[in-house]
């Protein structure tokens, strides 16, 4: 696919609207500082060894007090320890965890980002205007448990895969596309950032970019190539990926979109009526 070709103009329009109203997005250089360091090399999937091109953590500063004071982030963080790391191990949802899921959804549904997303989806006949119905739809897309590993029980859901991360047979990392989880795991020394990933100068990131392709290890396992937004709010990611998911019936949707200064490919895969995975992949930035 040639860069700039096949840009989905309609998706670009609504996603730029969401970008504009994301009041809880943190500002690079002010609310957080990242240290990109070296370019990561090739690592085979399933390998536990990767040359470390970054001696320091990715996040050199985060105003944690600020993001913990924002309701959507605070409720989001409470969800991150609710899951079994390995696929094949059935998930058990306690009443407390169920309550946390609902508190998070209630919080994001109050934001301008999710209200605009709902308006758009209602106009496209992909969602109900009834807030309770829309919340139930979001719950099914993101939190409904399903079988990812056929040898186990209900061992996964969209939220766990995308925002928390999980492992397959204890040999490889799956998902894990969220910057807040990355930062918190890095702080606990569970994550080791290995360097940024780039094919050429157009891909080469800078510290102000809100999307990063990267390599890292998590609890001893290496993710050869990962990708994540940096600094955006949880509600922005929920809104964006929900729209891409509902606007396509493809098993795997790859949408090239122009958001702010970035040319990005959004990848969303289905698992029945739920999200299997979703992530952004930086193609180029107007900065370069």
Active site residues: 161, 177, 223
DSSP state letters, the chain: --TTTTB-HHHHHHHHHHHHT-TTPPPBTTTEEE---SBP----TT-S------SS-SEEEE-HHHHHTSHHHHHHHHHTTSS-SBTTS-----HHHHHHHHHHHHHHHTSHHHHHHHHHHHHTTSS-SSHHHHHHHHHHHHT--B-SSTTSSS-B-HHIIIII-EEETTTEEE----HHHHHHHHHTT-EEEEEE--SSTTT---TT-SEEEEEEEETTEEEEEEEEESS--HHHHHHHHHHHHHT--SSEEEEEEEETTEEEEEEEEEETTEEEEEEEEEEEETT-
Separation of alpha carbons 260 and 245, rounded Å: 21
Burial zone of 89 (CB within 10 Å; 0-12 exposed, 13-18 middle, 19+ buried)? middle
């Amino acid at each position: 696919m040639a860069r700039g070709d096949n840009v989905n103009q309609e998706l670009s329009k609504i996603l730029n609207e969401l970008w504009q109203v994301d009041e809880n997005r943190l500002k690079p250089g002010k609310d957080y500082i990242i240290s990109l360091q070296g370019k990561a090399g090739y690592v085979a999937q399933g390998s536990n060894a990767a040359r470390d091109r970054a001696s320091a953590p990715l996040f050199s500063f985060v105003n944690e007090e600020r993001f913990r004071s924002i309701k959507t982030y605070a409720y989001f963080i409470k969800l991150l320890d609710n899951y079994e790391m390995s696929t094949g191990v059935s998930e058990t949802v306690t009443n407390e965890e169920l309550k946390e899921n609902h508190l998070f959804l209630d919080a994001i549904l109050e934001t301008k980002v999710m209200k605009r997303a709902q308006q758009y989806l209602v106009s496209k006949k992909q969602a109900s205007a009834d807030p309770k119905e829309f919340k139930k739809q979001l719950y099914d897309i993101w939190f409904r448990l399903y079988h990812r590993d056929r040898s186990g029980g209900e061992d996964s859901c969209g939220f766990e895969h995308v925002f928390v991360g999980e492992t397959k047979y204890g040999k490889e990392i799956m998902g894990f596309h969220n910057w807040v989880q990355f930062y918190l795991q890095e702080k606990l020394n569970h994550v080791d950032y290995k360097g940024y990933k780039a094919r050429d100068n157009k891909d080469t990131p800078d510290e102000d970019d809100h999307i990063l392709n990267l390599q890292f290890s998590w609890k001893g396992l290496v993710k050869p190539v990962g990708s994540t937004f940096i600094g955006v709010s949880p509600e922005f990611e929920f809104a964006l990926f929900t729209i891409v998911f509902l606007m396509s019936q493809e098993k795997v949707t790859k949408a090239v979109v122009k958001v702010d200064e970035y040319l990005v490919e959004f990848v969303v895969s289905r698992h029945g009526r739920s999200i299997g995975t979703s992530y952004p992949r930086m193609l180029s930035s107007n900065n370069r």
